[in-house]
Amino acid sequence: MMRKFSLLFAGALMGAASMLAFSGHGLISANAAGSDTYKQLAIFGDVFERVRANYVEQPSDKKLIESAINGMLASLDPHSSYMNAEDAADMRTQTKGEFGGLGIEVTMEDELVKVITPMFGTPAEKAGVLAGDLISKIDGEEVRGLTLQDAVDKMRGAVNTPIKLTILRKGADKPIDITVVRDIIKVQAVRYHAENDIGYLRVISFTEQTFDDLQQAIDKLTEEIGKDKLKGFILDLRLNPGGLLDQAINVSDAFLDKGLIVSTRGRDDRDSRRYSARPGDLTGGKPLVVLINGGSASASEIVAGALQDHRRATVIGTQSFGKGSVQTIIPLGENGALRLTTALYYTPAGISIQGKGITPDIKVNQTIPEELLGRDLTRGESDLRGHIPGAEEDSKGSGSIAYVPQDADKDDQLKFALALMRGEKSDPSYPPDPAKALPN
């Protein structure tokens, strides 16, 4: 069976591993280390030197130190980590939402890179790369034996530099060589379309582009459908791993006129923050439904929690992932960056979702196709080893099935939302009653 990924060159890997929420507030200064601490550090230095001198093979000093740092951070929680200079640069590329690359979504099939689709107007599309093409060589080097990430790394590069792809195409009697010149690719953070009289908005990730993309999508859908005919919007946050905290706040604010959006609480009161909405609902108060599942994490949960607590939207789907922690990125100059958990976030009603997640107003399970039955598709923070204990202690834990069918006709959660908004189905939770908004 084909392993499916969605990768946007150059290396914008926005998968479940990218469950990040960044905060820009200051860090608490730690007390000076005591003598016992320095004794322990001396033990580390002694072990390090003995490994260097006596290990069966010559180890890499850099790798040993990076592994030691990551071992220390991994003992804290699953989301704190060290990024070397290359990893830190990749992280900045992902959150910026634009990069130098080719503009294709790919997967791995039969040890070759398969093109899912070339993005419209990108270098790959202009050069003639087609959906379904199999990339067998990259600049003359065989793809077989490479991981998908290795192949992606090789296709990265500076803007205006060429790369030669050798392609196997169905119907062609021999391989095709295509030269593509890399250019700036803007990742579409929000995909949208009209479902007749309802606007569908799918937020892929929370990058620097997300709010601007969302605002443009709302404007275009309102114009396309017609303000009077438009019944409302569906905000799809399923399989959204999170991203930038400020973008989660801005997306929530897009649908709210006032009130608290999220608060963060750290080790010290000085590290606590409250973020509130400003006047102005971009939809003019149109009805709103939010879709979530086990793949909705971090920034996605901030948005769903804020709109749910204020009774601005009805949340439909299954339990979200339950990542309620905030990671601060601490630059280390040329040595990369430290990603450190510094706070937990709380919904407007003061509820922590750490280890529990957002519970939908209306639970709608998604039918799993026969070929996926038996596979573990459930995702949740409470299943992660070493996670910070949260509200899962008095519940069944966080997370649920993280699956969304590509065929909308087989999407039970989307079909339920559409039927609900059109009056074909009914539920006490829709439309939500603002008078019943939870206090904040």
- In the three-class reduction of DSSP (H, G, I as helix; E, B as strand; rest coil), residue 263 is classed as strand
User: From the candidates 81, 263, 296, 323, which is the catalytic residue?
Assistant: 323
Distance of alpha carbon 363 from alpha carbon 365, whole angstroms: 6
Instruction: Give yes or no for a contact between 135 and 148, defined as CB atoms under 8 angstroms apart.
Output: no
CA 68 to chain CA centroid, Å, is 27
Count of beta carbons in the 10 Å neighbourhood of residue 389: 9
Is 137 catalytic? The answer is no
Closest CA to 19 of 240, 285, 333: 240
Is 363 catalytic? The answer is no
User: From the candidates 80, 81, 205, 298, which is the catalytic residue?
Assistant: 298
Instruction: Give yes or no for a contact between 315 and 360, defined as CB atoms under 8 angstroms apart.
Output: yes
Which residues, other chains included, contact 314 with Cβ-Cβ below 8 Å and sequence gap of 6+? 288, 289, 290, 361, 362, 420, 427, 429, 430, 431, 432
Distances (CA, A) of 144 to 137, 154, 335: 8, 13, 33
Closest CA to 299 of 237, 343, 356: 237
Is 309 catalytic? The answer is yes
The DSSP code sequence of 59-93 is: --HHHHHHHHHHHHHHTT-TT-EEE-HHHHHHHHH
User: From the candidates 90, 183, 236, 309, which is the catalytic residue?
Assistant: 309
Instruction: Give yes or no for a contact between 174 and 191, defined as CB atoms under 8 angstroms apart.
Output: no
434 burial class (0-12, 13-18, 19+ CB within 10 angstroms)? Answer: exposed
Q: Where are the beta strands (DSSP E) in 48-128?
A: 81-83, 98-101, 104-109, 112-118
Tokens standing for residue 319: 């339990």
Return the active site residues.
Answer: 298, 309, 323
